[in-house]
A and B are shown apart, each in its own frame.
Chain A
């Protein structure tokens, strides 16, 4: 029994991490249709920002070390958002409707960002010490639930909830949805589609920063941490169904649960290969993903 609970929990935990790396992509790729290969590096930037904030705390405010994470969250969000905003202004805005060009160009950007990270922080991984209050875990029915994993789960749920509220309840979110649905009509109502593109991209990038922040809780970080997650992130968004947040959520937890179950019965590499095969087979059967945009009831 406890084995099952552990596996299911691990599945949700992996799902929460996948969801985190995919939320930002759900906005930039899912809603806006931009293939941003530098998304992983925006995650990396968020992770390094967390590292920087921790270093600053260690040096100037060691007594309040326990709270550095709460400063790191907004810093990671805004720095990645700003970077994404600049990227959109300088590069991506000229490449809408040219998927291959934007793929190559953003791939180039991702290499540049990795090199910049190497120059500033060095090639070896650096460790971010998670706050002490996240050490340990709760023991329920003989199973230990680590606080860090629980924290990430709660963090990602709050993040996706915030994004959902932003998109559905605020005027800015309404503008993003209008532009996504019908760009010409949105502009004919007085919406500046250029501005909307820029801030939607900034928001997607900001969520990548949050993902990076969360990843520091799991282990050391390095310049290539983004490349490790980028494929998974695209898989989640495509499996979930482009353009629907709920699809991304289902896709992430679906992949998380199935992966951990397969890893339990085979090796990790084998599980990954099988997972990819499964996803591809599923997409053959349902090309638009778990939740198709035409569904009216699920929003």
Chain B
């Protein structure tokens, strides 16, 4: 459903990704692994449209979206949770959540969507009137995921959602990921550092090193020990 084809991308002077191809399927969790600085965030930003690839093509539901701006990709059903969460810190939690509805062009029942979100993340309901910036890291992460889910994405890009978060919240976020993939058939691209964590919930994986894919496959058919070498520092 998402197909990144031979993408080369980077920043002004430096090329970060070279000739990268990956796919992500509906209802499946696709893990993107790799050490610091190998280009995982660059890949995610290329998929959402914050970075224009220098070469290659990005297809979404059989349509070429390579030149569309982020807002149009989001309206086509791609949700994005950036590394570092990017909560609007002076807006309230409620306002942050309401901004999630911007992705939806058709008429929806906000109450019903919000009820589902509060069920996944009960803490948010208690904090509606707090400023986003006053939340703890784990709470902000839940808010960022909730905000993206409100847009009812068919594909959700999660850039290191477990980074710097206490184990109980990691567990909660992991469960939410599995749940929306299996119950709502949402495709998930999960950027992760930890191989254990990624393998505990992913169906497919890609391992990056220095801007290229060095290993890929089905989680169920892969022995973790065989790929550990790409991740140890």
Contacts and interface: CB of A to CB of B under 8 A. Distances in A.
A14 B131 CA distance: 35
Contact of B90 (A185, A188, A299): A299
Nearest to B70: A187
B52 interface: no
B215 interface: no
B75 interface: yes
B50 A189 contact: no
Nearest to A177: B91
A266 interface: no
A174 interface: yes
A190 B88 contact: no
A190 B91 contact: no
Given A174-B99, A175-B102, A188 B89 contact: no
A188 B48 contact: yes
Given A175-B102, A189-B100, A296-B131, A184 B95 contact: no
B69 interface: yes
A191 interface: yes
Interface of A is mostly: helix
Nearest to A296: B131
A104 to B, nearest CB: 26
A189 B90 contact: no
A182 interface: yes
Contacts of B151: 189-190
Nearest to A243: B90
A40 B70 CA distance: 35
Given A175-B102, A181-B91, A182-B88, A188 B70 contact: yes
Contact of A188 (B80, B98, B131, B134): B80
A299 B95 CA distance: 14
B82 interface: yes
Contacts, number: 66
Contacts of A181: 88-91
A190 B74 contact: yes
Interface string B75-97: 10000101000101111000100
B95 A188 contact: no
Contacts of B82: 185, 188
A175 B99 CA distance: 8
A178 interface: yes
B169 to A, nearest CB: 21
B88 A188 contact: no
Given A178-B99, A189-B99, A184 B91 contact: no
A166 to B, nearest CB: 14
Given A177-B91, A182-B86, A185-B82, A191 B133 contact: no
Given A182-B86, A184-B50, A189 B131 contact: no
B80 to A, nearest CB: 5
B70 A171 contact: no
Contacts of A296: 90, 131, 133-134
A120 B182 CA distance: 68
Interface string B119-146: 0000000000001011000000000000
B86 A185 contact: yes
A242 to B, nearest CB: 14
B71 interface: yes
B99 A188 contact: no
A2 interface: no
Contacts of A174: 91, 95, 98-99
Contacts of B89: 181
B102 A189 contact: yes
A193 interface: yes
26 contacts: A174-B91, A174-B95, A174-B98, A174-B99, A175-B102, A177-B90, A181-B88, A181-B90, A181-B91, A182-B88, A184-B50, A187-B70, A187-B71, A188-B50, A188-B71, A188-B74, A188-B80, A188-B82, A189-B74, A189-B100, A189-B103, A189-B147, A190-B102, A190-B151, A296-B90, A296-B134
Interface of A: 171, 174-175, 177-178, 181-182, 184-193, 296, 299
Given A190-B71, A296-B90, 15 more contacts: A174-B98, A175-B102, A178-B88, A178-B99, A181-B91, A186-B99, A187-B74, A188-B48, A188-B70, A188-B74, A188-B80, A188-B82, A189-B151, A191-B71, A193-B71
